[in-house]
Amino acid sequence: MPRLSIGEYLLARLLECGIDTLFGVPGDFNLALLEQVEATPSLQWVGNCNELNAAYAADGYARIKGAACLIVTYGVGDLSALNGIAGSFAEHVPVICISGIPPMHALRQRSLLHHTSGTGNFEDVISCLAQFTIAQARLTPLNAATEIDRVITTAMREKLPVYVQIPSDITHIEINAPMAPLNWSVSGDRVRTGRAIERIAARIDRAERPALLVDADAQRFGQGRLICELGESAGIAFATMSSGRSILDEQHPLYRGIYAGGASAPETVAAIEASDCLLAIAVRFFDSTTSIFSHTLDEEKMILIDPFSVSLDGETIEGVEAKEILQGLVNHYREHPSTRVWQQDGSSEISFHGSAAQSVDGALTHETMWPLIEGYLTPDDLMLVENGTAQAGFASIRLPRQAHFISQSVWASIGYTLPALLGCMMARSEGRSLLFIGDGSLQMTVQEISTILSNKLKPVIFVINNGGYTIERVILGANSLYNDIAPWNYTALLAAFSQSGEITTWSVRTVAELQQALNATARPDGLILIELHLDRMDAPGSLKRTGKRVAEYDFDARVLPAEKPDEPCEVAR
């Protein structure tokens, strides 16, 4: 059996997972490992401005490449990164967090060290991380190979973050290095799988209005192609949750829009809520994706296909695997083609407003802005869309073919998308990368623009400047000081982050100015920042309605403002 140092073995396993870029911040306890990173030509180190941003960047990278690695130092680094790791846990993104920790002799002696709680307790940090990771390990020379393989395999199999502690004094110790490749594939029980396929196909064949509803985990587990093939072969229309956008082609004749409960378009409601056989693939119903649990679905008519189980007719079938189920259904309908003529269905009647955009002068508003943005999008664009007005605005946009849409709908940590943009762009070299972010969110993580520039990346960043937290204003405190933020000169800010001059900025206040900026930036040759000036209470109508529902759900009626007539609003498309 060949011999490798513990650090070399760990890095080799990361490369095996397709990870070639590592994110993080140096600290004295991880420096020996980082020396080994520098000595590995096939790995690239991206140093971030802080550990939280590094965790967000790793999350974005993993959504494109399938997994990512984050390297931090003990205590201060771990806990600074924890919010980002928790987001990966909530959204099922496999990030491998490696923490350089104090040397083994310090652990044994319970030494009072910096970056610790000062109690000699070296279990507190790993206990914190254990709440938001699926597996944890503290490496020693005796367990390193076994534990590295166990933890990384778990991350890849279950699509969840894991946490590895490596003492600073063991990185260069040699161990026996198993040569067998890691195996994180899952295969279900053949008999149970066959019976599940037969029962699901029978339900579909009996149905008059079958439909598919898809969520983010279908992408995490690589099911998108099979779902589309199933829809085509069986003649089944499909919709996605807002957290699962771009898994399926939104230009496809089978596409029926975004399902968001009571905020859905009528044609989406007709396809999903009226279905007599709804295949819900990896769907999770959160307040943020159902407009505060306003969905109305008949559980008796639903078939839930989760990554490792199927639920139908009041029974849950364990020991099956979703891709095998989907492949079996596709094979079934290839042999027994459906008589449904889905090409002639009325999907073209779904009304997205991009084609109706009017380039008229006047103050920029959400009503006039998003049609122009829709017209700006091209196939294979990568879009990172921040929670709040940006995500609500995109609910009315139909994405182009082969688009990549990334948001953090579940954990919803503001500021996530800017560092995630860095991670995505490090994972992907082709196509444009576009960021849509509010001013309040930008101020959270703006430092990472410097890392984007230092890596010579060329995104287009749209900053929605509405003077604060508009998403909070539509919930409560429309005129309260706590929803204000300090005004920044965003277009001037970038000069502090770059010494190369490869930046272009636009300050947009009118529809005509936005159209001019979009025309000029269709093919970016450097980083572009377009600042969009909007009234602080201007928001997509769907966000205003959702804000009212959130307020009613969250607060005692005594803190809410007096009742006012509902404003007309768009539904999610």
In this prediction, residue 1 carries a pLDDT of 78
Q: For residues 451 and 49, give the distance between their C-alpha atoms in angstroms, rounded to a whole number.
A: 8
What does the pLDDT read at residue 355? 41
The whole-number pLDDT of residue 341 equals: 61
- Find the mean pLDDT for residues 425-433: 94
Residue 347, classed as helix, strand or coil, is: helix
| Higher per-residue confidence, 571 vs 36 | 36
pLDDT value, residue 121: 94
- Tally: H helices and E strands in the chain: 21, 21
pLDDT value of residue 339: 76
pLDDT digits (tens, 9 = 90+) for 174-188: 999 998 999 999 999
**pLDDT-based confidence at 196, cuts 50/70/90?**
very high
Query: Treating both helix axes as pointing N-terminal to C-terminal, what angle do 31-38 and 6-16 enclose, rounded to 10 degrees?
Result: 60
At residue 453's C-alpha, the angle toward residues 373 and 495, to 5°, is 85
Per DSSP, which regions of 431-526 are E strands? 433-438, 460-465, 503-508
The helix/strand/coil state of 525 is coil
**Per-residue model confidence (pLDDT) at position 443:** 97
- For residue 501, what pLDDT band results from cuts at 50, 70 and 90? low
- Is residue 65 predicted with pLDDT exceeding 90? yes
Read off the pLDDT of each residue in 147-154 and give the average, rounded to a whole number: 98
- CB atoms under 10 Å from CB of 22, counted, come to 26
Residue with tokens 């990278």: 61
What mean pLDDT comes out for the span 563-569?
49
pTM for this prediction: 0.94
All domains of the chain, ordered by start, with CATH?
Answer: 3-176 (3.40.50.970), 190-349 (3.40.50.1220), 354-559 (3.40.50.970)
pLDDT tens per residue across span 522-536: 998 899 999 999 999
Are 380 and 403 spatial neighbours (Cβ–Cβ below 8 Å)? Answer: yes
The mean of the pLDDT values for the chain is 92
The pLDDT of residue 342: 57
Alpha-carbon distances of 56 from 87, 160, 371, 526, rounded to whole Å: 8, 14, 29, 23
> Can you say how many angstroms the Cα of residue 267 is from the centroid of all Cα atoms in its chain?
26
Question: 3-class SS at 167?
Answer: strand
Q: How far apart are CA 450 and CA 447, in angstroms?
A: 6
- Whether the predicted pLDDT of 567 surpasses 80: no
Express the helix, strand and coil content of the chain in percent, nearest 5 each.
40, 20, 40
Which helix or strand (DSSP H or E) is residue 271 part of?
helix 266-272
433 pLDDT more than 90: yes
pLDDT, residue 564, reads: 55
pLDDT at 557 over 90: no
